[in-house]
């Protein structure tokens, strides 16, 4: 992979903690599990051994993925952003013109997107459509249920 990955400080710290846990705790544990399973004899019919090797493969793959993401991270603290337009890290209040409901989203990186927490990826259709707009703008966004029209009522960086 190439290019930088924008992420908040919280996401960067969470990825580093996960990497540390995998390398210091999970990796040694799975090596020990493999050694114990080997001691049980015939490896061709040893389900414990197969499960431990599968787990080892997952852990090694995740370590590689986390190392890559951390190396390419562009850590952004939204509280330091002074902008009147929507960029990465913005918390945005949107007024749905059709339903008259208001929603609040924060634009974040792929690894921290969680719609239940109101965090959407900057690369999602909604995130991409909002970039560069400011308070008062109406934005038409293609969503699975059709086209939604939102008016931007507030932009906050915190």
Q: How is the chain split into domains, by residue range?
A: 5-76, 78-156
In this predicted model, what pLDDT tens digit does every residue of 29-86 receive, in sequence order? 999 998 988 887 766 677 888 899 999 999 999 999 999 999 999 999 998 998 889 9
In this predicted model, what pLDDT tens digit does every residue of 90-117 receive, in sequence order? 999 999 988 889 999 999 999 999 999 9
Q: Is 150 helix (H, G, I), strand (E, B) or coil?
A: strand
* Residue 2 burial by Cβ neighbours in a 10 Å radius (0-12, 13-18, 19+): exposed
**Class level of CATH domain 5-76:** mainly alpha
Q: Which runs of consecutive H residues, i.e. helices, occur in the chain?
A: 9-21, 27-38, 47-72, 125-130
In this predicted model, what pLDDT tens digit does every residue of 6-28 receive, in sequence order? 999 999 999 999 999 999 999 99
In this predicted model, what pLDDT tens digit does every residue of 68-81 receive, in sequence order? 999 999 999 998 99
Q: Is domain 78-156 annotated with CATH 3.10.50.30?
A: yes
Band of residue 2 on the pLDDT scale cut at 50, 70, 90: low
């Amino acid at each position: 992979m190439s290019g930088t990955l924008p992420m908040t400080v919280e996401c960067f710290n969470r990825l580093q903690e996960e990497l540390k846990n995998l390398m210091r705790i999970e990796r040694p544990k799975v090596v020990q599990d493999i050694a114990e399973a080997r001691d049980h004899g015939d490896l061709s019919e040893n389900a414990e051994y197969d499960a431990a090797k599968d787990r080892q493969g997952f852990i090694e793959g995740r370590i590689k993925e986390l190392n890559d993401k951390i190396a390419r991270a562009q850590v952004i603290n939204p509280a330091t952003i002074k902008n009147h337009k929507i960029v990465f890290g913005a918390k945005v209040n949107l007024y749905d013109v059709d339903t008259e409901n208001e929603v609040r989203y924060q634009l974040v990186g792929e690894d921290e997107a969680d719609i239940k927490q109101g965090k959407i990826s900057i690369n999602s259709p909604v995130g991409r459509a909002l970039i560069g707009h400011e308070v008062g703008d109406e934005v038409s966004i293609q969503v699975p249920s059709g086209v939604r029209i939102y008016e931007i009522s507030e932009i906050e960086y915190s």
